[in-house]
Structure 1
Amino acid sequence: MGFACLAAIFAVPGAIAQQSDAPQKPGKMIHAGDVLSGELGVMKVRDTKNRGKRVATYQITSEPRRLPPPNGLCNLETGPETFQLVPTNDAQAAQLKSLSGKAISVKVDEIACAKDAGEMSEAIVTKWSVVAK
């Protein structure tokens, strides 16, 4: 009986490793008007355009999503999982600040792959609005 338990313990890590080796499928396509949900994180980064001033950068971590062409998978096998939210005014910045660390949903109006140095996410959401849950 002790041998069976020991064999089961050693068999489990192999099974877990086999599952993680399976190729992941690309995420579902995201279009303008779709909702993106996840936890809102905040980071302080130096703004190179504003004399190195530290500014808040907000991002949602979510399931992988594909972007419409020409962006596609953003050079990732499954599509981006981190999405930077760019506030367009002080009201949006204040709204994000109050929601930091919480699960939120946003309606995506404009999205693209990150391509500039200093962007902290795999994709950038430049036009968006918070959706009430």
Structure 2
Amino acid sequence: MMRRFGKRLALVTVMAVTCAAPAASAQQAEPPAAKPGKLINAGDVLSGELNAMKVRGGKKGKRVATYLVTSEPRRLPPPNGLCDLETGPETFQLITSSDAQAAQLKGFIGKEISIKVDEVACAQDAGQMSEAVVTKWSVVTKH
């Protein structure tokens, strides 16, 4: 009886090792976790495609243009950090403070743009359409 038990135990052990080997190699084949993006500080340049959306806002619900820059993932300086994202935000909403700034952006819609970031934070309000908000910025022109 002990011989049969020993043979069965050996067979079960071989089967367990055989089944576990592919699972272990599959775990090793998974890509490593995404690394956080490069840190963006005040004065740094953010480049990406500029998109525009019309959203209702203000007291009377007027349609207002909202501008978004889609870029590589970037980390924000503390206390904002990664904006509750694994790699940092990829979309940045540009807040326009004047009609002149809005007019300046209109020519870049759908194109690559570079902006100098002076103030940036994680999106927190319900009306914000991106992961991060750039409240103070200027367009970088190439000479």
Pairwise same-fold verdict (TM > 0.5): yes
Q: Could you tell me which residue of structure 2 aligns to residue 75 of structure 1?
A: 84
In structure 1, list runs of 5 or more residues that go unmatched. Answer: 1-17
Query: Percent identity, aligned pairs only?
Result: 73
RMSD: 1.6
Specify the structure having the higher radius of gyration (Cα). 2
Deviation string, structure 1 residues 20-65 (Cα, Å, up to 9, x no partner)? 8431100000000000000000011111x32211111001000000
C-alpha distance in structure 1 between counterparts of 2:61 and 2:73, whole Å: 32
Please identify runs of 4+ aligned residues in structure 1 that moved more than 4 A. 18-21
Q: Could you tell me which residue of structure 1 aligns to residue 130 of structure 2?
A: 121
Q: Could you tell me which residue of structure 2 aligns to residue 56 of structure 1?
A: 65
Equivalent position SS for 2:52:
strand
Once the two structures are TM-superposed, the CA of residue 19 in structure 1 deviates from its matched residue by: 8.2
In structure 2, list runs of 5 or more residues that go unmatched. Answer: 1-27
Match of 1:37 among 35, 47, 67: 47
Once the two structures are TM-superposed, the CA of residue 117 in structure 1 deviates from its matched residue by: 0.4
Normalized against structure 1, the TM-score is what?
0.82
